[in-house]
Structure formats: C-alpha cells, structure tokens
A and B are shown apart, each in its own frame.
Chain A
C-alpha cells in the first residue's frame, strides 16, 4: 500500500503534536505535584526556553530539507512547528511572570527594560507573537506580499534568541555556543536570501 502525500503530512503532524505537547503536559504535571526537583520554577523556565529554541531551529530546517530532498510537502508542517515554537516561548515568558516573579508586574516590567538579555528575549517573543497571529490563513491572504516580508523576521528572532541564551548563563557557555553554531549554520543556508534582504535594507 502506498501512502499518499496527504497521509504523510497527517502522520507528520500527529508526530509533531505528540512529541511537542506530551513533554509539556508531563512537565507541568510533575511541577504542580512537586516532583521536579527542589526548584520546579527554574526547571520549567529552562525546559520551555530550550524547548522553544529547539522548535525554532527545527522550523527553520524544514525548507532547506524540503529543497534538498525534493520533498515539497514537508513545507506543510512548518506552520505547526512554528506555532509550537510560539507556545513554548509563551509558556517560557508566563513561567517567569507567574512562577518566578509571582505576578510582581512592577518587577516584571523593570526587568524587561533593565536587563539586556531579557529585553532582547522579549523583543524576540513579540516578533514571534506577530508571526503566530499572522499565520491564520485568512490574515495571510489579506497580507499578500507583506506576509513574506514579516515572516522573514524569523531569522532575526533566531539571532536574538541565540544571544539571549548566551547572555543568560553564569559560566556554562558551551551549550549556548553550540546552539549559536547551529543557528549560524541555519542562516548559512539562507546566505543568498539574507544578502538580498540586507541589500534592500541599505540601498
């Protein structure tokens, strides 16, 4: 029996749902029941942060993969991955606000403006939110060519997040450096596109 492309996409989407949603559900189940080590707050913040970064990298790997292996249908799962990136980032920010700062809004706003690593993280999150909202088909259609221009910001988001991670650690820079390298590699695949964007920006 041959699986149709439609079925392949469906299976892929199912796989993405399972492997992105279940860990998040399990994480909060453990955290709420005090089964996540001595400081569940730190754990949920780190897990969702790293998770969002992994998902963003994966999202941006889809189109080079589709091109290289000539599997155009892969592009059909990109939006789902992008949306999960957004949801992980949303939980990352909410964890910080709700569980770490425990809704001390004044402190939250102060930290966003005072700490460079949080500032750029927040910029990345706002951009990501814009991409998530405009991913609705109806909005996408209305936006026309502007949609692609807006969604090119995903590369800037990647850079911001890589710096955010690097700036956030005390001394353990090896993992952030590894993620920086991965991000750089992904940008390399878009060398020509980024060059064009750059030229348009400064000409």
Chain B
C-alpha cells in the first residue's frame, strides 16, 4: 500500500485557482488598461464609456467551453511558422460580434452553439440536417495548416481542424442544376450584438452570405473547420462550424454556418452587395489586382513580436495554392473576375 505524506510545500486541491478566475485575470488586467488609456484625451469618448459600463456591470460573463478534438495531424506543413493561438483568437473580423478586431473575442463568450442545426439543401437528391454532435463525429477530422490572407493585407498561419467540404457535399448528391453553393451565417440578434446594433455591426447586411462555384467547393482544399489548435472553435473564430478557403481572401471563409444551399445561380454575397467595385464574387488572392484603396502586392504576416517585427512579405497568387486551384480559372480574366 502506498502511503503519501503530503509535504508542506505541496499545494492542496483547495489551493488551486478556480478556472474561471484563472481565465479572467487577463481580462481584468486588460480592462484596467483600457480604462486607464481610454479615459485619456486621445481615444474616442464613446469607447471609454462602453468600457466603464462593462467594468461595472454585474453580469457574469460565461466563458466559452472548448473541447479537445481527435484528429490526424498535418505533417506536410510543419515548417510553416504558426500564428500564436492568442493572436488567432483575439484578432478577428466577425462583425456579428463587433467590427473592431478585438471585439469578437470579448463579446462572443456567451455564444450558444449546442444545440446547432446545419442544413444542407437545395439542388440535391438527399438534403440533410446536421446537429451539433454530427459536426465533429460524421467525418474523420484532420488538421490542415493553412495560410489565411485577409483582404486588408494582413495574414496568419492557422492549424485548422475539420473535413473536406467536398465530402459533405457528396453526402447530399448534388443534382445537375447545382452550379453554385450558397452559405449563410446564423441570424440571431439576441446572441449577436452586431446584428442588433448598427454601430457595433459595421453596417453590413445580415445574415452574412457567401458563395462558391460548385467546382471550387469540390476542390479538396476547401475545408469545413470545426476546430483550431487541437480544440473546438472559439465563437470568435466561427464556432461551431465555418468554411476555410485558403486561396481566397478571408471574408470568403464564412463563420458559424447554419445553411449550405446548392443553387443554380451565383448567390449575392454580403460584401458584393455593399461595395461591388471593391469586393468581387471570386475574391481570389491576387497580388496583381489591387483593392481600390490599397495594394495587394504584399502583406504583413502576423506571428510574434511588436511594432518592429519585419513581417512584410510578398503576396503569392492564390495565396500560394496555385498548383492546387489555378486550373479552376483557366481562360478567365482574373482582373475582371476579381
């Protein structure tokens, strides 16, 4: 029989910091920082007010629960330098939870993803609806380390976990009318403050809609992601399921999807509706076609380091995935079809 005599130095179970306090400590420090900085002259009066209210509100913030996933590791891209997890999860364009980069991480932690329903329907023989558990159990999950190039000319390298969109679409047997795939994000203003408040939500139309041509969707690179860095997706990254199309600008990779529809006509996508001269249907990463307001020839790769990290690199056609996808656009004028 093993008898353990606890030493004085050894911590007992009651000494352990409760998880919620442990995870909140950064939050608290950050808010103190924000409050200090934003009450000073230079920052907008509006934001300091918002922070102060947040600080004093008694509302307990539920911290979002991430579950570990079982998956096949991606050993082919191990040499890529990953963007640290904290940066991947705190620098997000997800206007449903606020149009500023840091807002989604702060405003989405109470997001309910279980139960969830993802419907795949439209021009197909066997439409299906997946529930929350199906998302992680229906297919074998694999890790895919992809470069993510935002249309705003910054980029990251993210270890996603998921399955091929093609596998999902094959399950529903698309019919001969299916030419395009239309994706839609959840519309739930109760849970998504950006859909409720125009200032927060950046003035785009909700629900967010994206689309792909069917042959693009069937390309093996197109990923339905349910996780990153070994765990299920945090809400700010598009929990519980999102699209990742690594050869296109980030806004094509729609988050928190509730509907995938096979259609015969190209769907009107959100950014196309808002500014058609700036955001096209294809949105392939193309260093030779500038955004009207900035150059797309290079990008800043977000990894580690502060202001002085020399992180500007050349942008590659199709974000470096030309070998796998360039054939999809043979004979097309990619300046016209931007």
Contacts and interface: CB of A to CB of B under 8 A. Distances in A.
B41 A20 contact: yes
A51 B45 CA distance: 11
A166 interface: no
Interface in B36-71: 37, 40-44, 46
Interface in B290-323: 290, 292-295, 297-298, 300, 302, 304-308, 310-312
Contacts of B87: 38
Contacts of B293: 115, 117, 167-168
B38 to A, nearest CB: 9
A28 B308 CA distance: 11
A172 B295 contact: no
Given A28-B307, A32-B306, A102-B312, A39 B101 contact: yes
A150 interface: no
Nearest to B150: A39
A144 interface: no
B268 interface: no
B274 A33 contact: no
Nearest to B153: A100
Interface string A20-50: 1011101110111111111111101001001
Interface string B236-251: 0000000000000000
Chain A: number of interface residues, binned into ranges: 35 or more
A42 B101 contact: yes
A31 B42 contact: no
B45 to A, nearest CB: 9
Contacts of A115: 292-294
Interface in B144-178: 152, 154
B91 A39 contact: yes
B99 interface: yes
A175 interface: yes
Contacts of A54: 41-42, 44
Interface stretch (A63-71, A103-111, A186-194): A103-111
A19 interface: yes
B295 A23 contact: no
A40 B306 contact: yes
Contact of A174 (B198, B274, B300): B198
B91 A38 contact: yes
Contacts of A173: 203
5 contacts: A23-B41, A37-B102, A111-B295, A115-B292, A115-B294
Given A37-B90, A47-B42, 12 more contacts: A23-B41, A24-B42, A28-B307, A32-B308, A34-B306, A38-B87, A50-B42, A55-B42, A114-B290, A117-B293, A171-B99, A171-B203
Top 9 nearest A-B pairs (CB, nearest first) are: A38-B91, A51-B42, A38-B87, A19-B41, A34-B306, A23-B40, A172-B202, A31-B307, A102-B312
